[in-house]
């Protein structure tokens, strides 16, 4: 059955819903109130006493569906219930529709779908449940839909998303999510939308050629530039040895960021053209966590060292004749303290995954660049505290 056949709204002579004149009376459909249950719906096809193989009931005030709603409608092939006010669907509501090929229940008010809602619609090829305020999707929700080709979940925050949800849908070709990050959980599909988060894409860890080129350019400049500064500072005799030592330590911290970028570039080359197939494995890997740790360590140590150097210069300029200057041991203790604080900040998210989740594996570049509803509250608070509090 082709898509053009489904959308042609074919008819069958066996009645399942009584149609009178140009009005369709859903006498068996469960509506939220008696007023609505008596409401008539315009039959756009204007055929008397016929069973539509595809039926469109969008933009009505339907509030609930149960087993009796579609009783005797077993020949229905397409059902379109988007833009209604459906809040509840019983587990066996679609049980009589064992021939159904297309189902749209998008843009309703459904907060939960029963675990086995689609158990009997095994021939379903296209399912659209997008833009519903679903609180969760059961792991077994789509287990029987091995012929499904297109699944739309746009506008839904899937807080409990796992690869297990999509494993049984072996025929799935197109899937539509609310966020690109979810694509990593459905590795077998041919097409996933949205296909990028601005950094990674469905095919590549780094989405475009500009990112790929500059990650190598900046990595080289960062590493070799800082190594050159360390080398030259070591050769040239400095008047202020303590300040020179601080500069060299700052260069070491910046070098770590260059190492991080080199690893990002290497893994981008490794997964080129098939990133989504390896995305979940990569983001959960120890390598991703370690380079994320390096990036965080480099960032925090650099920020703290720059703050220390700025404060030191401020004191020298504002109070040129004071004796308030750090000595050798004070400077050494300050540097050790800064590295200890940076190390602690970077390592804390790795201590307890139950609290922080996969903190560094939120995206392909293994750095906590943004927060979302799937991220744990502790991880969100930690990121806000570090990036908008301490670093600001």
> Residue 146's pLDDT is what?
92
Strands 23-25 and 40-42: antiparallel
Integer Cα distance of 37 and 72 in angstroms: 19
Return the closest-CA partner of residue 99 out of 189, 12, 20, 29. Answer: 12
Q: Compute CA 4 distance to the chain's CA centroid, rounded to the nearest angstrom.
A: 32
Assessment of whether the complete model's pTM goes beyond 0.95: no
23 and 64 in contact (C-beta within 8 Å)? no
Q: HSE-up of 7 (CA within 13 Å, CB side)? A: 4
Q: Residue 236 burial by CB count (10 A; 0-12/13-18/19+): exposed, middle or buried?
A: exposed
> Residue 136's pLDDT is what?
87
Domains recognised in the chain with CATH numbers: 1-195 (3.80.10.10), 209-390 (1.20.1070.10)
> Residue 387's pLDDT is what?
82
Tell me the average confidence (pLDDT) per consecutive run of 10 residues in the chain, 392 residues long. Answer: 36 39 31 30 31 70 89 88 92 91 94 92 95 91 94 91 91 93 88 90 92 96 96 85 91 96 96 90 94 96 94 84 79 94 94 86 84 68 84 70
Integer Cα distance of 127 and 145 in angstroms: 10
Q: Cis peptide leading into 304, omega within 30 of 0?
A: no
CA angle 326–329–332, rounded 5-degree value: 90
Q: How many secondary structure helices (H) and strands (E) does the chain include?
A: 9, 14
> Residue 293's pLDDT is what?
96
Integer Cα distance of 365 and 267 in angstroms: 9
> Residue 44's pLDDT is what?
34
Strand order in the sheet with 40-42: 19-20, 23-25, 40-42
């Amino acid at each position: 059955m082709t898509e053009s056949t489904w959308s042609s709204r074919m008819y069958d002579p066996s009645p399942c819903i009584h149609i009178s004149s140009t009005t369709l009376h859903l006498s068996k459909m469960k509506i939220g109130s008696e007023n609505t249950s008596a409401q008539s719906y315009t039959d756009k096809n204007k055929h008397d006493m016929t069973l539509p193989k595809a039926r469109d009931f969008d933009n009505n005030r339907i509030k609930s569906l149960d087993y009796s709603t579609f009783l005797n409608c077993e020949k229905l092939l397409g059902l379109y219930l988007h833009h209604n006010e459906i809040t509840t669907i019983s587990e066996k509501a679609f049980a009589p529709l064992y021939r159904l090929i297309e189902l749209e229940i998008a843009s309703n008010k459904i907060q939960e779908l029963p675990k086995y809602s689609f158990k009997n619609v095994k021939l379903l090829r296209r399912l659209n449940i997008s833009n519903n305020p679903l609180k969760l999707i059961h792991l077994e929700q789509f287990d029987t839909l091995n012929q499904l080709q297109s699944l739309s979940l746009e506008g839904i925050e899937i807080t409990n998303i796992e690869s297990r949800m999509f494993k049984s849908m072996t025929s799935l070709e197109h899937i539509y999510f609310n966020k690109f990050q979810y694509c990593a959980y459905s590795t077998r599909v041919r097409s996933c939308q949205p296909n990028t988060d601005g950094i990674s894409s469905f095919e590549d860890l780094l989405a475009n050629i500009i990112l790929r080129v500059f990650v190598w350019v900046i990595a080289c400049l960062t590493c070799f530039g800082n190594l050159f500064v360390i080398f030259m500072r070591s050769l040239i005799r400095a008047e202020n040895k303590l300040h020179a030592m601080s500069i060299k330590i700052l260069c070491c911290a910046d070098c770590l960021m260059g190492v991080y970028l080199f690893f990002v570039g290497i893994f981008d080359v490794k997964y080129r053209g098939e990133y989504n197939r390896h995305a979940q494995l990569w983001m959960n890997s120890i390598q991703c966590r370690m380079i994320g740790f390096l990036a965080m360590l480099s960032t925090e140590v650099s920020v703290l060292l720059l703050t220390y150097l700025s404060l030191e210069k401020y004191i020298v300029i504002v109070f040129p004749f004071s004796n308030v200057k750090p000595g050798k041991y004070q400077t050494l203790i300050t540097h050790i303290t800064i590295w200890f604080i940076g190390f602690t900040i970077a390592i804390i998210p790795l201590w307890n995954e139950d609290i922080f989740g996969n903190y560094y594996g939120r995206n392909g570049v293994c750095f906590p660049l943004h927060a979302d509803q799937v991220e744990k509250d502790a991880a969100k608070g930690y990121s806000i505290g570090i990036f908008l509090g301490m670093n600001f």
